[in-house]
Amino acid sequence: MSIGVLFADDHPIFREGLKVFLEKSQFRVIGECADGFQALKLAEQLRPDIVLLDLSMPRLNGLDAVREILQVSPRTRAIMLTAHREEPYVLEALRSGAKGYVLKAEGGPILVEAIREVCRGNVYLSPSISRSVVEAYLTRRGMSDEILRPREIEVLRLIADGHTSREIAGHLQIRVKVAESYRTSLMEKLDIHDTANLVRYAVRRGLVKP
Amino acid sequence: MNGNVQEAHQAMDRLHEMLEEQTRRLSDTVHSEAGQLLSAVLLRLDQLALELPSDCGDCFHEIRLMIEQIEEQLRDLSNELLPRMLDDLGLIPALECLVERTSRRTGADIRLNSSIADRLPAALEATLYRIVQEALTNIAKHARATQVEIHLWQDDRVHCAVRDDGIGFDSDRILQKKGERGLGLAGIRERVESQGGALAIRSLPGHGTEVLVSVPRRV
C-alpha cells in the first residue's frame, strides 16, 4: 500500500500546494492540520507512516509535537519541513526524534526522496543542511547543546520539587513516557545522571528554592 | 527615583516595546507571508516540471534558481529584523547564528561564552540580542578588530560584555550620537536604563572597546 502522510503547517497556501504535490507523487494524504496540537490528535487517531511538521506553529510547535507524536504513534516517522536552515534547529529536531529535515525551498523532488528514505528507516537531511551539520559536529563549537527548552525547564522544576514522572505527566497533561523522555533528554543535555544532582543543579539555577 | 524621571523611563519602555512589536510583525510578514508563498510557488513549479517536455529543463531551472534567491533574501531580511530563533530556541542559539554570520562577513574571530543555561524573559532576550547585534555592527563598520569576545553570565542580574581589539574610539562622543540605522548605542543605553539596567562603554583610541551591560532578570 502507498505511504500514508499526515502534515501540519500553519500556512494555508503552502498546505494546499503540498497536498496536491504529495498526491501527484503517489503518496496517500491521510490528514492535514494547522498546528502541532491538532497534529498530535490526528497522529494518534490515524497512525500515519509519515508526519511532516513545520517548526514554528501556534499552540504546540513542531519540536514539541514530534516528541509527543512518537509516543502516541511509535511507528510514525517524523520529518521537519521548514524554512529554517540554521543548525541549532536541525540539531534540536534530531534530538526530539525527527528522522528527516527538509527545507521548503528545496522543493518537491527532495521531499519525495526524504519520505522514501525515512520510510526505509534511514535519516535524511536536505543536501544543503547536511554539510553545515557535519561541520558543526566536527568543530563542536555549539553551546546550545546545554540550553534547556521551556518544556524541559518545567520538567526539571517539577523533578526538583520531588515529583515522580507520573505526577509530572499529570501536571503537564502529557503521557508518562513523554515525561520520562524529557527527563532523559535533560539529563543528557546537562550531563547529570542522577536525580540528586539534578535537584542541586535546579537550585543553583534558581529554578526552585533550596 | 524622582517621579518625572520614572515616568519618562516608563514612557521610553513602552515606546521600545511598541517598536519591538512592530519589528516582530514586520519580520513575521516577510518570513511567514511572503516566504511561505514562495515555498508554495516552488512546490507548484516542481509539480509542473513533472509534466513539462524535457527541453524546457534549462529555462525551468533558471526560474527556480531566481525564486530561491528571492526566498533567501527575504529570509536574511527577516533574520536581520528579528530572528524567529529568538522565540523558538532562545537567546544563545540566536546569538550563535548572529556570531557565525558576522564572522563570515567580516573575517573577525568572534567567540561567544555563556553560562546561562535557561531561558530569560522574552523582553530581556530581545534587549540582549539587540545589544550584541548593535555592538557587532559597530565593530564591523568601524573597529577593524580581529578578535571579539562576547560573555554572558547571570547572578541576580544578567550581564553581557562585548570586547574587541580594534582601533577604539572616543566613547563620550559616540554616546551622544544616535545610530544611523537601528537604535545605535545611545538608543540601546536608553532601552537598558528604562529596564532598570546600566550600560557602560570603555574605549580608548588604539586600545579596543568594551561594552558592558547589566540588566535585572525580572523585566
Q: Are residues A130 and A196 in the same domain?
A: no
| Mutation site for A-interface testing, chosen from B36, B100, B157 by largest number of A Cβ within 10 Å | B36
Q: Are residues A32 and A129 in the same domain?
A: yes
Q: Are residues A47 and A116 in the same domain?
A: yes
Q: Is residue A156 part of a domain?
A: yes
Q: Is residue A17 part of a domain?
A: yes
Assess whether pLDDT exceeds 80 at residue B218: no
Please give the biggest Cα pair distance in chain A: 59
CA atoms within 13 A on the CB side of B19: 15
Burial label for A177, CB within 10 Å (0-12, 13-18, 19+), is middle
Whether B22 contacts chain A with CB within 8 A: no
Chain B nearest-CA residue for A11: B36
Q: Are residues A132 and A150 in the same domain?
A: no
**Cβ–Cβ gap A84/B85 under 8 Å:** yes
**Cβ–Cβ gap B75/A83 under 8 Å:** yes
Query: What is the pLDDT, as a whole number, of residue B1?
Result: 52
Whether B26 contacts chain A with CB within 8 A: no
ipTM of the complex: 0.73
Which H or E element spans position A6? Answer: strand A4-8
Q: Are residues A13 and A109 in the same domain?
A: yes
Residue-wise pLDDT for B29-82, tens only, equals 887 788 888 988 998 888 888 787 777 778 888 888 899 899 888 888 888 888
Q: Is residue A73 part of a domain?
A: yes
Strand pairing category for B109-114 and A124-125: unpaired
* Chain B residues lying within 8 Å of A16, measured CB to CB: 40
- Where do runs of H (alpha helix) occur along A53-175? 62-72, 87-96, 108-119, 127-139, 150-160, 165-172
**Cβ–Cβ gap B89/A88 under 8 Å:** yes
Q: Are residues A91 and A118 in the same domain?
A: yes
Angle at A8 between CA A2 and CA A9, to 5 degrees: 130
Confidence of residue A132 (pLDDT cuts 50, 70, 90): confident
What CATH number does residue A22 fall under?
3.40.50.2300
Query: What is the pLDDT, as a whole number, of residue A143?
Result: 47
Residue-wise pLDDT for A187-203, tens only, equals 888 878 888 888 888 88
| Mutation site for A-interface testing, chosen from B39, B95, B156 by largest number of A Cβ within 10 Å | B39
The reported pTM is 0.73
Confidence of residue B181 (pLDDT cuts 50, 70, 90): very low
Whether B42 contacts chain A with CB within 8 A: yes
Interface of A with B (CB under 8 A): 11, 13-14, 16-18, 20-21, 24, 55-56, 61, 63, 83-84, 86, 88-89, 92, 104-105, 107-109, 142-144, 146-150, 153, 190, 205, 207
Nearest-angstrom CA–CA distance, A101 and A53: 10
* Chain B residues lying within 8 Å of A19, measured CB to CB: none
Nearest-angstrom CA–CA distance, A198 and B22: 40
Domain boundaries, chain B: 2-81, 89-216
- Whole-number mean pLDDT of chain A? 87
Residues A180-186 have a mean pLDDT of 85
Closest CA–CA distance from residue B205 to any residue of chain A (Å):
32
Helices B184-194, B3-28: axis angle to 10 degrees equals 120
What CATH number does residue A182 fall under?
1.10.10.10
SS (H, E, C) chain B: CCHHHHHHHHHHHHHHHHHHHHHHHHHHHHHHHHHHHHHHHHHHHHHHHCCCCHHHHHHHHHHHHHHHHHHHHHHHHHHHHCCHHHHHCCHHHHHHHHHHHHHHHHCCEEEEEECCCCCCCHHHHHHHHHHHHHHHHHHHHHHCCCEEEEEEEECCEEEEEEEECCCCCCHHHHHHCCCCCCCHHHHHHHHHHHCCCEEEEEECCCCCEEEEEEEECCC
Residues B4-28 have a mean pLDDT of 81
Question: What is the dihedral angle through the alpha carbons of A38, A40, A42, A44, rounded to the nearest 10 degrees?
Answer: -160
| Mutation site for B-interface testing, chosen from A10, A61, A64, A84 by largest number of B Cβ within 10 Å | A84
Q: Are residues A16 and A46 in the same domain?
A: yes
Q: Is residue A209 part of a domain?
A: no
What is the domain count for chain A?
2
Q: Who's near A32: CB < 8 A, 6+ residues apart?
A: A6, A7, A8, A9, A15, A18, A19
Single residue among A104, A119, A139 that ends a domain in this structure: A139
Class of domain B89-216: alpha beta
Q: Is residue A47 part of a domain?
A: yes
Whether B219 contacts chain A with CB within 8 A: no
Q: Are residues A16 and A56 in the same domain?
A: yes
Task: List strands edge to edge, sheet with A124-125.
Answer: A28-33, A4-8, A50-53, A77-82, A100-103, A124-125
Tell me the residue range of the domain where A173 lies.
145-204
Q: Are residues A156 and A133 in the same domain?
A: no
